Amino acid sequence: MPVAFTVRLVARIGEGFAHMDLTITAQGLLQVAGAGDAPVLLHPIWLRERLPDAAVLDPQTGQRLEEAAETPTDLRVTAAAHDGTIAFSDGFATRLPAGWLAGAIAVQPHQAQHVHWDGTLDAARFPCADLADLRARPAALGALLAGLDAYGFAIVRGVPIEPDGGLAFADLIGPIRMTNWGGMADVKAIPNAYDLTMTPRHLEPHSDNPYRDPVPGYILLHCLQNDADGGDSTLVDGFHAAAMLRSIDPAAFDTLTRTDVTFRYHDDSAFLEHQAPLIERNAAGDVVQIRYNNRTEMVGRLPVDQLDAYYAARAAFWKLIAPVSPLTLQFRLQPGELLVMDNYRLLHGRTGYTLATGSRHMRQCYLDRDMVGSKRRLLQPA
């Protein structure tokens, strides 16, 4: 049983280290205290496996060379010197570059600053930009992608009204996701539709293609024509709906996060299937993905009591996202506008339209989630 006392080996290291107090505890942990900040305890292996030392990380790529899983699990910090030299119980020692330690222990910015919204969201707050501006100014694209991250959708104006005009925006970010339907695909009523999307029928709120793995990250919906009666776009903030469900019916929320359901698309040329919950959380409990697609969802033949719970929970969630709910945002896309939607967060749909009164022709494609996130991070202000 180690004695709980602290041995202060270094009183203070100076310039470039922001005057940090480094202390080694009896357990061999490194305690770091900056001016006025609460002390931070660093696990010796946590510290070791990210050291900017050529024996640990490749200087060129920043990727780790040392097999971290082979680091002795009883590793201890044994020394810390005024010049930033740190030594470990296995004999390894390195000198930390000035300022490195402060950066390593800095509080990481929250992964995403989501702004939850409902059907009252004012159009003046929609993240939007002109394509010409996005092309001319990387900072404008960065701002749009930050807005997309915050609200889950964004509108690009001034997109060429031609079949592949939407690619002019996609190309600013990265390659589009190819599927069994190709890249850019029509969304308009056709005879013998292979999907309800291709009819003038209204579309209930849904996320796209939950039967794929991975699910397409972002949807780009480019409006070429929209002059029929009806055909407005509808959006629901699925993260907001999930947070509401968690608040008003925690048991239903829990059921939807723990019940894997099957999403399936099957035709002559494709059999796509994936099992996942309607609401997915990460290890910290944060909601990270919503899957909702009535057209393609089937729950397995679970025990009756589990099905009872699932059906009740699904009904409770539906009440929150249904077209009549206060969460539904409705607006009309104009030709030359492109709607970008976070397919992990938003549920989208449309009102029905009447073919006899005009046409509704959209084209859509997908971007992978990592490509959008990559561009946003590259362009975010330092």
Interaction site with Fe ion (CB under 5 A): 208
- Least distance (Å) from Fe ion to the CB of residue 195? 9
Considering the complex, state which of residue 53 and residue 208 has its C-beta at the smaller distance from Fe ion.
Answer: 208
Nearest residue by C-beta to Fe ion? 208
- Least distance (Å) from Fe ion to the CB of residue 146? 24
DSSP state letters, 139-199: HHHHHHHHHHHHHSEEEEE---SSTTTTHHHHTTT-PEEPBTTBSSEEES--TT-SSGGGS
Cα separation, 58 vs 51, in Å, equals 10
Considering the complex, state which of residue 146 and residue 185 has its C-beta at the smaller distance from Fe ion.
Answer: 185
Cα separation, 251 vs 245, in Å, equals 9
Contact call for residues 10 and 21 (beta carbons, < 8 A): yes
Considering the complex, state which of residue 234 and residue 257 has its C-beta at the smaller distance from Fe ion.
Answer: 234
Query: Token digits for 127?
Result: 């993240």
Considering the complex, state which of residue 93 and residue 190 has its C-beta at the smaller distance from Fe ion.
Answer: 190
Cα separation, 312 vs 255, in Å, equals 9
- Least distance (Å) from Fe ion to the CB of residue 178? 17
Start-to-end Cα distance in the chain? 46
- Least distance (Å) from Fe ion to the CB of residue 364? 8
Considering the complex, state which of residue 208 and residue 342 has its C-beta at the smaller distance from Fe ion.
Answer: 208
- Least distance (Å) from Fe ion to the CB of residue 26? 59
Query: Token digits for 245?
Result: 């469900």
Considering the complex, state which of residue 316 and residue 339 has its C-beta at the smaller distance from Fe ion.
Answer: 339
- Least distance (Å) from Fe ion to the CB of residue 96? 51
3-state helix, strand, coil in the chain (%, to 5): 25, 30, 45
Indicate the DSSP class of residue 110: P
Indicate the DSSP class of residue 320: H
Cα separation, 362 vs 187, in Å, equals 5
Considering the complex, state which of residue 24 and residue 333 has its C-beta at the smaller distance from Fe ion.
Answer: 333
Question: What single letter denotes the amino acid at residue 362?
Answer: M
Considering the complex, state which of residue 139 and residue 196 has its C-beta at the smaller distance from Fe ion.
Answer: 196
Considering the complex, state which of residue 21 and residue 195 has its C-beta at the smaller distance from Fe ion.
Answer: 195
- Least distance (Å) from Fe ion to the CB of residue 236? 13
For residue 289, count CB atoms less than 10 angstroms from its CB and return exposed for 0-12, middle for 13-18, buried for 19 or more: buried
For residue 363, count CB atoms less than 10 angstroms from its CB and return exposed for 0-12, middle for 13-18, buried for 19 or more: buried
Other C-beta atoms lying within 10 Å of the C-beta of residue 306: 15
- Least distance (Å) from Fe ion to the CB of residue 201? 12
Contact call for residues 141 and 177 (beta carbons, < 8 A): no
- Least distance (Å) from Fe ion to the CB of residue 299? 21
